[in-house]
Chains A and B, each alone.
Chain A
Amino acid sequence: MTEKYNMPDERGHFGPYGGIFVAETLMPPIQELNEAYQRYLADPEFIAELDADLKYYVGRPSPLYHAERWSRELGGAQIYLKREDLNHTGSHKINNTVGQALLAKRMGKTRIIAETGAGQHGVATATIAARLGLECVVYMGAVDVARQSLNVYRMKLLGATVIAVKSGSKTLKDALNEALRDWVTNVDNTFYIIGTVAGPHPYPAMVRDFQSIIGREAKEQCLEATGRLPDALVACVGGGSNAIGLFYPFIEDKSVKMYGVEAAGDGVATGRHSAPLCAGRPGVLHGNRTYLMCDDDGEIIETHSISAGLDYPGVGPEHAWLKDTGRANYVNITDTEALEGFYALTRMEGIIPALESSHAMAYTMKLAPTMSKDETIIINLSGRGDKDMQTMAKREGIEL
Chain B
Amino acid sequence: MSRLAAKFEALAKAGRKALIPFVTAGDPRPDFTVPLMHEMVKAGVDVIELGVPFSDPMADGPVIQRASERALAHKMSLRRTLETAIEFRKTDQDTPIVLMGYLNPIEAMGYADFANAAQRADIDGVLTVDLPPEEGLECSALLKARGIDPIFLLAPNSTDERVKKMDAAGSGYIYYVSLKGVTGAGHLNTADVEHKLQQIRANTNLPIAIGFGVKDAATAKTIANIGDGVVIGSALINKIEDNLDDLDLAKQEIITLLASIRQALDN
Question: Interface on A for B, CB 8 Å cutoff?
Answer: 11, 19-25, 27-29, 167-168, 173-174, 177, 180-181, 184-188, 282-287, 289, 292, 294-300
Contact = CB atoms under 8 A, between A and B. Distances in A.
B105 A299 contact: yes
A281 to B, nearest CB: 8
Interface in B65-99: 65, 69, 72, 77-79
Contact of B157 (A25, A173, A292): A25
A292 B180 CA distance: 29
B56 A28 contact: no
Classify the secondary structure of B's interface with A.
loop
Contact of A181 (B109, B153, B182): B182
Given A25-B155, A177-B56, A19 B105 contact: no
Given A19-B135, A180-B58, A283-B107, A187 B154 contact: no
A21 B128 CA distance: 10
B35 interface: no
Give the interface residue-count category, chain B: 35 or more
B172 to A, nearest CB: 16
Contacts of A298: 54, 77-78, 104-109
B121 interface: no
Contacts of B132: 20-22, 24, 27
A398 to B, nearest CB: 37
A30 to B, nearest CB: 10
Instruction: Name the residue among A184, A187, A188, A294 with the largest chain B CB count within 10 angstroms.
Output: A184
B177 A299 contact: no
Nearest to B61: A181
Given A22-B130, A24-B154, A168 B109 contact: no
A177 B134 CA distance: 22
A292 B102 CA distance: 15
Given A21-B135, A284-B107, A299-B53, 6 more contacts: A24-B154, A177-B58, A186-B180, A296-B108, A297-B77, A299-B105
Nearest to A296: B108
A25 B179 CA distance: 9
A95 to B, nearest CB: 27
B168 interface: no
Contact of A185 (B108, B129, B180): B180
Contact of B177 (A20, A25, A300): A25
Instruction: Name the residue among B56, B62, B103, B181 with the largest chain A CB count within 10 angstroms.
Output: B56
Instruction: Name the residue among A28, A185, A297 with the largest chain B CB count within 10 angstroms.
Output: A297
A72 B236 CA distance: 67
A287 B182 contact: no
Contacts of B65: 167-168
B158 A27 contact: yes
A382 to B, nearest CB: 26
Instruction: Name the residue among A24, A167, A168 with the largest chain B CB count within 10 angstroms.
Output: A24
25 contacts: A20-B132, A22-B130, A23-B130, A24-B154, A25-B153, A25-B180, A25-B181, A28-B155, A28-B158, A28-B162, A177-B58, A180-B59, A181-B182, A185-B182, A187-B180, A188-B180, A282-B107, A284-B102, A284-B130, A286-B56, A292-B104, A298-B104, A298-B106, A299-B105, A300-B55
Contact of B58 (A11, A19, A23, A27): A23
Given A184-B181, A296-B108, A299-B105, A285 B56 contact: yes
B67 to A, nearest CB: 12
B185 A185 contact: yes
A25 B72 contact: no
Contacts of A21: 103, 130-132, 135
A283 B103 CA distance: 8
B152 interface: yes
Instruction: Name the residue among A22, A25, A285 with the largest chain B CB count within 10 angstroms.
Output: A25
Nearest to B166: A24
Contacts of A282: 107
Given A294-B104, A298-B109, A299-B105, A24 B177 contact: yes
B159 interface: yes
B208 to A, nearest CB: 13
B157 to A, nearest CB: 5
Interface in B164-218: 177, 180-182, 185
Contacts of A22: 130, 132
B129 to A, nearest CB: 5
A237 B156 CA distance: 37
A24 B158 contact: yes
A284 B180 contact: no
A19 B134 CA distance: 9
Contacts of A283: 104, 107-108
Contacts of B109: 298
Nearest to B134: A20
Q: 3 tightest A-B contacts by CB?
A: A298-B108, A298-B105, A297-B77
A11 B135 CA distance: 10
A287 B180 contact: no
A56 B85 CA distance: 62
A298 B81 CA distance: 13
Nearest to A301: B55
Contacts of B159: 28
B164 to A, nearest CB: 14
B175 to A, nearest CB: 9
Contact of A23 (B55, B59, B78, B134): B59
Contacts of B157: 25, 28-29, 187
A219 B200 CA distance: 53
Interface in B11-47: none
Interface string B103-131: 11111110000000000000000000111
B70 to A, nearest CB: 13
Contacts of A287: 130
A23 B166 CA distance: 13
